[in-house]
Amino acid sequence: MVGRPGPRRVLTEEAILDAALALLDEGGLEAASIRRIAAAVGVAPNAVYTYFPDKAAVLGALVDRFLGTVEYSSARPWRERIRGLAVDVRTRLSAHPAVASLLMSSPMGGPNTLAIGEFLLEALDAGGLAPDAAARASYLVMVYVLGALALEAAEHPDPGPLPPEAERITARREALGVEAPAGDAAETEGPFPRTVAAAPVIADYVSTAQFLWGLDRVLDGIAAS
Protein backbone atom coordinates (compact mmCIF):
# COMPACT_ATOMS: atom_id res chain seq x y z
CA MET A 1 0.00 0.00 0.00
CA VAL A 2 2.65 2.49 1.07
CA GLY A 3 5.52 1.29 -1.05
CA ARG A 4 5.57 0.12 -4.62
CA PRO A 5 5.66 -3.54 -5.75
CA GLY A 6 8.73 -5.65 -5.22
CA PRO A 7 10.14 -8.24 -2.86
CA ARG A 8 8.79 -6.88 0.38
CA ARG A 9 8.01 -10.05 2.37
CA VAL A 10 5.03 -8.42 3.97
CA LEU A 11 3.17 -11.69 4.11
CA THR A 12 3.41 -14.99 5.99
CA GLU A 13 1.53 -18.23 5.61
CA GLU A 14 0.49 -17.69 9.21
CA ALA A 15 -0.86 -14.20 8.52
CA ILE A 16 -2.90 -15.51 5.60
CA LEU A 17 -4.36 -18.31 7.70
CA ASP A 18 -5.11 -15.89 10.54
CA ALA A 19 -7.03 -13.66 8.16
CA ALA A 20 -8.85 -16.62 6.64
CA LEU A 21 -9.89 -17.90 10.05
CA ALA A 22 -11.12 -14.47 11.14
CA LEU A 23 -13.22 -14.16 7.98
CA LEU A 24 -14.53 -17.69 8.48
CA ASP A 25 -15.55 -16.85 12.05
CA GLU A 26 -17.25 -13.61 11.11
CA GLY A 27 -18.90 -14.47 7.82
CA GLY A 28 -18.91 -18.23 7.43
CA LEU A 29 -17.62 -20.29 4.53
CA GLU A 30 -18.51 -17.87 1.76
CA ALA A 31 -16.66 -15.02 3.45
CA ALA A 32 -13.33 -16.84 3.20
CA SER A 33 -12.60 -15.86 -0.40
CA ILE A 34 -9.09 -15.35 -1.69
CA ARG A 35 -9.94 -11.77 -2.52
CA ARG A 36 -11.23 -10.96 0.95
CA ILE A 37 -8.31 -12.71 2.61
CA ALA A 38 -5.92 -10.67 0.48
CA ALA A 39 -7.77 -7.47 1.32
CA ALA A 40 -7.63 -8.31 5.03
CA VAL A 41 -3.84 -8.62 4.95
CA GLY A 42 -3.54 -5.53 2.73
CA VAL A 43 -2.36 -7.11 -0.48
CA ALA A 44 -3.50 -7.71 -4.05
CA PRO A 45 -5.60 -10.87 -4.53
CA ASN A 46 -3.00 -12.72 -6.56
CA ALA A 47 -0.26 -12.17 -3.97
CA VAL A 48 -1.79 -15.05 -2.02
CA TYR A 49 -0.69 -17.38 -4.81
CA THR A 50 2.93 -16.78 -3.85
CA TYR A 51 2.28 -18.68 -0.64
CA PHE A 52 -0.39 -21.22 -1.61
CA PRO A 53 -1.01 -22.87 -4.97
CA ASP A 54 -4.77 -22.43 -4.79
CA LYS A 55 -7.71 -21.82 -2.50
CA ALA A 56 -8.02 -25.47 -1.52
CA ALA A 57 -4.45 -25.39 -0.23
CA VAL A 58 -5.24 -22.38 1.94
CA LEU A 59 -8.27 -24.06 3.49
CA GLY A 60 -6.43 -27.38 3.84
CA ALA A 61 -3.58 -25.68 5.68
CA LEU A 62 -6.12 -23.90 7.87
CA VAL A 63 -7.74 -27.19 8.86
CA ASP A 64 -4.40 -28.83 9.58
CA ARG A 65 -3.26 -25.88 11.67
CA PHE A 66 -6.52 -26.05 13.60
CA LEU A 67 -6.02 -29.74 14.30
CA GLY A 68 -2.53 -28.90 15.54
CA THR A 69 -4.04 -26.95 18.44
CA VAL A 70 -5.91 -29.99 19.71
CA GLU A 71 -4.50 -31.41 22.91
CA TYR A 72 -4.43 -35.03 23.91
CA SER A 73 -2.66 -37.00 26.57
CA SER A 74 -1.65 -40.63 26.82
CA ALA A 75 -1.85 -40.73 30.58
CA ARG A 76 -5.37 -42.09 31.00
CA PRO A 77 -7.11 -45.35 30.05
CA TRP A 78 -7.61 -45.79 26.31
CA ARG A 79 -11.30 -44.91 26.28
CA GLU A 80 -10.68 -41.75 28.24
CA ARG A 81 -7.91 -40.76 25.85
CA ILE A 82 -10.22 -41.03 22.87
CA ARG A 83 -13.10 -39.35 24.63
CA GLY A 84 -10.77 -36.56 25.69
CA LEU A 85 -9.59 -36.04 22.14
CA ALA A 86 -13.10 -36.00 20.73
CA VAL A 87 -14.36 -33.57 23.34
CA ASP A 88 -11.38 -31.29 22.86
CA VAL A 89 -11.90 -31.16 19.10
CA ARG A 90 -15.57 -30.43 19.59
CA THR A 91 -14.91 -27.73 22.20
CA ARG A 92 -12.33 -25.94 20.09
CA LEU A 93 -14.55 -26.19 17.04
CA SER A 94 -17.37 -24.40 18.85
CA ALA A 95 -15.25 -21.23 18.63
CA HIS A 96 -14.77 -21.74 14.88
CA PRO A 97 -17.97 -23.40 13.61
CA ALA A 98 -17.22 -22.85 9.94
CA VAL A 99 -14.06 -24.93 10.22
CA ALA A 100 -16.18 -28.00 10.96
CA SER A 101 -17.56 -28.07 7.41
CA LEU A 102 -14.03 -27.97 6.05
CA LEU A 103 -12.97 -31.00 8.08
CA MET A 104 -14.84 -33.33 5.74
CA SER A 105 -13.89 -31.68 2.48
CA SER A 106 -10.14 -31.35 2.90
CA PRO A 107 -8.23 -34.50 2.08
CA MET A 108 -7.12 -35.20 5.66
CA GLY A 109 -3.47 -35.38 4.64
CA GLY A 110 -1.74 -32.78 6.78
CA PRO A 111 0.90 -33.64 9.38
CA ASN A 112 -1.32 -32.75 12.34
CA THR A 113 -4.06 -34.99 10.99
CA LEU A 114 -1.54 -37.79 10.79
CA ALA A 115 -0.50 -37.08 14.39
CA ILE A 116 -4.08 -37.50 15.54
CA GLY A 117 -4.33 -40.78 13.63
CA GLU A 118 -1.14 -41.96 15.28
CA PHE A 119 -2.51 -41.00 18.69
CA LEU A 120 -5.67 -43.02 18.03
CA LEU A 121 -3.62 -46.04 16.99
CA GLU A 122 -1.63 -45.79 20.22
CA ALA A 123 -4.73 -45.56 22.35
CA LEU A 124 -6.39 -48.50 20.61
CA ASP A 125 -3.21 -50.55 20.95
CA ALA A 126 -3.26 -49.74 24.65
CA GLY A 127 -6.83 -50.99 24.60
CA GLY A 128 -5.58 -54.38 23.52
CA LEU A 129 -6.61 -54.30 19.85
CA ALA A 130 -4.59 -56.12 17.23
CA PRO A 131 -2.87 -53.78 14.72
CA ASP A 132 -5.34 -54.41 11.90
CA ALA A 133 -8.36 -53.94 14.14
CA ALA A 134 -6.79 -50.82 15.63
CA ALA A 135 -6.30 -49.36 12.16
CA ARG A 136 -9.89 -50.02 11.17
CA ALA A 137 -11.14 -48.74 14.51
CA SER A 138 -9.14 -45.52 14.28
CA TYR A 139 -10.81 -44.73 10.99
CA LEU A 140 -14.21 -45.52 12.47
CA VAL A 141 -13.60 -43.09 15.32
CA MET A 142 -12.57 -40.40 12.84
CA VAL A 143 -15.63 -41.01 10.70
CA TYR A 144 -17.87 -40.72 13.72
CA VAL A 145 -16.29 -37.60 15.20
CA LEU A 146 -15.92 -35.75 11.91
CA GLY A 147 -19.36 -36.83 10.73
CA ALA A 148 -21.06 -35.76 13.93
CA LEU A 149 -19.32 -32.38 13.95
CA ALA A 150 -19.97 -31.70 10.26
CA LEU A 151 -23.64 -32.58 10.69
CA GLU A 152 -23.88 -30.22 13.63
CA ALA A 153 -22.23 -27.50 11.58
CA ALA A 154 -24.58 -28.12 8.66
CA GLU A 155 -27.44 -27.22 10.96
CA HIS A 156 -26.10 -23.69 11.25
CA PRO A 157 -25.02 -22.54 7.80
CA ASP A 158 -25.52 -18.96 8.94
CA PRO A 159 -22.26 -17.14 9.60
CA GLY A 160 -21.23 -15.90 12.97
CA PRO A 161 -20.53 -17.67 16.24
CA LEU A 162 -22.38 -20.82 17.17
CA PRO A 163 -25.33 -20.11 19.46
CA PRO A 164 -25.23 -21.70 22.91
CA GLU A 165 -26.20 -25.34 22.99
CA ALA A 166 -29.44 -24.76 24.87
CA GLU A 167 -30.51 -22.24 22.26
CA ARG A 168 -29.71 -24.59 19.40
CA ILE A 169 -31.74 -27.37 21.01
CA THR A 170 -34.67 -24.98 21.48
CA ALA A 171 -34.42 -24.00 17.81
CA ARG A 172 -34.52 -27.66 16.77
CA ARG A 173 -37.48 -28.25 19.07
CA GLU A 174 -39.40 -25.41 17.49
CA ALA A 175 -38.47 -26.52 13.98
CA LEU A 176 -39.97 -29.90 14.75
CA GLY A 177 -43.12 -28.32 16.10
CA VAL A 178 -42.80 -29.63 19.61
CA GLU A 179 -43.79 -27.42 22.49
CA ALA A 180 -44.30 -29.87 25.32
CA PRO A 181 -42.22 -33.03 25.66
CA ALA A 182 -45.38 -34.81 24.45
CA GLY A 183 -44.90 -37.61 26.90
CA ASP A 184 -48.57 -37.96 27.73
CA ALA A 185 -50.59 -39.24 24.81
CA ALA A 186 -48.39 -40.24 21.90
CA GLU A 187 -49.91 -38.96 18.67
CA THR A 188 -49.04 -41.98 16.58
CA GLU A 189 -50.74 -40.67 13.47
CA GLY A 190 -49.56 -38.77 10.44
CA PRO A 191 -46.97 -39.86 7.92
CA PHE A 192 -44.06 -40.38 10.31
CA PRO A 193 -45.50 -41.32 13.70
CA ARG A 194 -42.25 -42.54 15.21
CA THR A 195 -40.39 -39.44 14.12
CA VAL A 196 -43.05 -37.22 15.65
CA ALA A 197 -43.03 -39.20 18.88
CA ALA A 198 -39.24 -39.03 19.03
CA ALA A 199 -39.18 -35.28 18.42
CA PRO A 200 -38.03 -34.37 21.94
CA VAL A 201 -34.97 -36.61 21.57
CA ILE A 202 -34.39 -35.48 18.00
CA ALA A 203 -34.23 -31.92 19.26
CA ASP A 204 -31.34 -33.09 21.41
CA TYR A 205 -29.24 -34.38 18.51
CA VAL A 206 -26.96 -31.36 18.54
CA SER A 207 -26.16 -31.76 22.24
CA THR A 208 -22.95 -32.80 23.92
CA ALA A 209 -24.91 -35.64 25.50
CA GLN A 210 -25.86 -37.10 22.12
CA PHE A 211 -22.30 -36.64 20.84
CA LEU A 212 -20.86 -38.58 23.76
CA TRP A 213 -23.61 -41.21 23.71
CA GLY A 214 -22.80 -41.96 20.10
CA LEU A 215 -19.07 -42.03 20.76
CA ASP A 216 -19.59 -44.45 23.65
CA ARG A 217 -21.63 -46.79 21.44
CA VAL A 218 -18.84 -46.69 18.86
CA LEU A 219 -16.22 -47.44 21.50
CA ASP A 220 -18.40 -50.23 22.92
CA GLY A 221 -18.62 -51.78 19.49
CA ILE A 222 -14.88 -51.50 19.04
CA ALA A 223 -14.12 -52.96 22.47
CA ALA A 224 -16.37 -55.96 21.77
CA SER A 225 -14.76 -56.77 18.43
Binding footprint of DNA on the chain (CB under 7 A): 1, 4-11, 32-36, 42-47, 49-51, 54-56
Please classify residue 27 by burial: count the beta carbons closer than 10 Å to its beta carbon, then call 0-12 exposed, 13-18 middle and 19+ buried.
middle
User: Is the distance from CB of 13 to CB of 50 less than 8 angstroms?
Assistant: no
- Is residue 163 near its own copies by the rule CB under 8 A? no
CB of 6 to its own copies, least distance (A): 35
Indicate the residue among 25 and 148 with the shorter CB distance to DNA: 25
CB of 28 or CB of 43, closer to its own copies: 28
For the segment 25-64, give every residue that binds its own copies (CB under 8 A).
56
Stretch that binds its own copies, among 4-12, 47-55, 75-83, 110-118 (CB under 8 A): 110-118
Three-state DSSP class for 21? helix
Question: What CA–CA distance (Å, rounded) separates 183 from 91?
Answer: 32
Report the Cα–Cα distance between both ends of the chain, in Å, rounded.
Answer: 61
If one asks whether residue 205 binds its own copies (CB under 8 A), the answer comes out as yes
> Cα dihedral sign for 164, 143, 139, 56?
negative
Which of DNA, its own copies, none does residue 146 bind (CB under 5 to 8 Å by kind)? its own copies
Is there a contact between 61 and 78 (Cβ–Cβ < 8 Å)? no
Picking from 207, 222, 202, 220, the residue whose alpha carbon sits closest to that of residue 87 is 207
Q: Least distance from C-beta 39 to DNA, angstroms?
A: 8
Q: What's the min distance (Å) between Cβ of 41 and DNA? A: 9
Burial of residue 19 (CB within 10 Å: 0-12, 13-18, 19+) is buried
150 binds its own copies (CB under 8 A): yes
Which one of 22, 40, 108, 171 is in contact with its own copies (CB under 8 A)? 108
Identify the burial level of 192 via C-beta atoms within 10 angstroms of its C-beta, where 0-12 means exposed, 13-18 middle and 19 or more buried.
exposed
Q: Name the site residues for its own copies (rule: CB under 8 A).
A: 56, 101, 104-108, 111, 114-115, 117-118, 121-122, 125, 131-132, 134-140, 142-144, 146-148, 150-151, 154-155, 157, 191-195, 197-198, 201-202, 205, 210, 213-214, 216-222, 224-225
